[in-house]
Amino acid sequence: MKFLTVLFLTALLGYAAPLYFPWWSFAVTSFVVAVAIHQKGGKAFLAGFLGLFLLWGVYALLLDNANDHILSVKVASLLPLGGSTAALIFMSAFIGGVVSGLAALTGGLARGLRAS
């Protein structure tokens, strides 16, 4: 239950924070959630990773479908993705997930340091 709570909070705050702060503020919110709700390192990373991976993946897919894949086709052709919009969406979600996961891992480990 704690894992799902952290996953949901990470996704919710990861969506809300960049509306008012710089785009990278989702990493700060992932760190704060991991400090506030203690989990071991692996679970903290996984919750942070999945929370933002799912958020960015779904959000990018919705935006891509809303504009008929115009921008994503052009960007995917510039990158070594073979023009695949699905690969572009996956890579975007993966990068956001890794950043969030590492921030959550840092928060989980920092909480462990505070306790000792």
State the angle between helix axes of 70-78 and 85-115 in degrees (0 to 180), rounded to the nearest 10. Answer: 80
SS3 94: helix
pLDDT at 37: 93
| pLDDT, tens digit (0-9, with 9 covering 90-100), for 60-92 | 999 999 999 899 999 999 999 888 999 999 999
Q: Are 87 and 76 in contact (CB under 8 A)?
A: yes
45/66 Cα distance (integer angstroms)? 31
Weakly modelled stretches of the chain, pLDDT under 50 = none
DSSP state of 84: -
CB under 8 Å to 83, separation ≥6 — which residues? Answer: 73, 76, 77
Q: Are 102 and 45 in contact (CB under 8 A)?
A: yes
pTM of the model: 0.90
